Amino acid sequence: MKTDFEQWLSAQFGETGPFTLFIVLVRIAGDEVVPLKSSYAHLIGDDMAWREMQGLLDRAGTAWDGVAFFVGLGHAGGPLPDAAAARKLREVEADVKADPLVLNRGRFFDRKGRHLRIDEVAR
């Protein structure tokens, strides 16, 4: 059975073809979500299993509880050029730091590849 991540990746690739993937690792502690590290990658296929993605994310060298993925496309489709991807990554990082609810604009997963959603907590 495919994980939510694998189903999403297949559907996303079917819709857009190759794309740039912005990755934000987070720690979930009680009702707080804290961004830890981020990066981007150019995906040219949809044949990545969650176990492989999790292995790549674990190599970031920090304990993480969740990961958000945001899709970027060039003007003519396909992955963004590296310079544009680096600029967009900085925007994504700033948006997530300013408001963790931004994670819902991408696809947010737990360590098992299951889809998550962030809800606002009344204090």
What is the amino acid identity at position 123? R
CB atoms within 10 A of CB 72: 19
Q: What is the rounded CA–CA span in Å between residue 50 and residue 31?
A: 26
So what's the pLDDT on residue 123? Answer: 66
pLDDT tens-digit map of 74-98: 999 999 999 999 999 999 999 999 9
pLDDT in tens, 46-65: 999 999 999 999 999 999 99
| The overall pTM is greater than 0.75 | yes
Q: Is the per-residue pLDDT at 107 higher than 80?
A: yes
**Per-residue confidence at 31, pLDDT binned at 50, 70, 90?**
confident
